Amino acid sequence: MLDTTVPTFHLAELQEGLHQDEFRSCLKNKGVFYLTGSSLSEADQKSAKDVVVDFFEHGTEEAKRAVTSPVPTIRRGFTGLESESTAQITNTGTYSDYSMCYSMGTADNVFPTEDFERIWTHYFDRMYDATREAARQVLKATGTEPEGGVESFVNCEPLLRFRYFPEVPAHRSAEEEPLRMAPHYDLSTVTVIQQTPCPNGFVSLQCEVGGTFVDLPAKPDAVLVFCGAVATLVTGGQVKAPKHHVAAPGRDRIAGSSRTSSVFFLRPDSDFTFSVPLARQCGFDISLDGDTATFKDWIQGNYVNIRRKSEA
């Protein structure tokens, strides 16, 4: 029986080649781990969190419209509360994500102020550095040398999404709708998450390990790393891309159950080519024809950013 404990690794020790058997076992069977020593600071996250939460709470509707992308497949700028549905994207339901978002990448970004842009650009760069290093360790442990080399592969098309999960209303409590966000695996090489805990102690983020969903609480001085579907494919199936979801609190735990999550997706370049039969063999939902496809084909065809409604 698989131990459902999510392990913690220290980056410097992985870089030195320590704990490689344990690390490979974790990658193969769980695909999720905590990472310490990544150089990402809580101060960096706090600065980025404070400025965006202030915008969520105090920005005018006009200011929010000005930084909302009119194209539903483009993840940039502001996305309002319940405007997205992971359940809809993954064909597992129609309920909304009970969160609001701000997103940025390496280009085509929109920001409400210059101060916001400065703080977020700094945080993006810090997250990008840490996430690339996590990906390097995954590739090294599995003996994977992507076409073009590791450095070319990890210098790619990343995406930072900051999610704010406010306290749910009664009709979105666990008794009525168990999830704030539906189960899904990430279309990334790796995803690095800095999360803040719910003030009341409720653990909202959960991951499937050994056939059951286990809690993934925020841990001081540690980031959480999910391996994504791209890691599975580029390593020839040596890495698991685990499903994870965001649970809703019960009615008696709604007060104090808000949380935030800085989510950095290390995605490959759009022309990354993979085996469609391998993707199906690994259990990924893919409807593309042919023996091979590109990441652009996949993300546009199977996992676009579906908006539930247009923002007023």
Active-site residues, by number, are 75
**Hey, what are 179's tokens?**
């999830």
Strands (DSSP E) contained in the chain are 8-10, 32-36, 77-79, 100-104, 159-165, 179-184, 190-195, 205-209, 212-215, 222-227, 244-247, 259-266, 273-275, 292-294
Q: Positive or negative CA dihedral for 5, 36, 43, 225?
A: negative
3-state secondary structure of 75: coil
Distance separating alpha carbons of residues 48 and 111, to the nearest angstrom: 12
308 backbone φψ class: left, alpha, beta (φ>0; ψ -120 to 50): alpha
Answer for the pair 207, 32: CB distance below 8 angstroms, yes or no.
Answer: yes
Answer for the pair 34, 7: CB distance below 8 angstroms, yes or no.
Answer: yes
Q: Of how many residues is the chain composed?
A: 312
Give every CB contact of residue 218 below 8 A, 6+ residues apart in sequence. Answer: 195, 196, 197
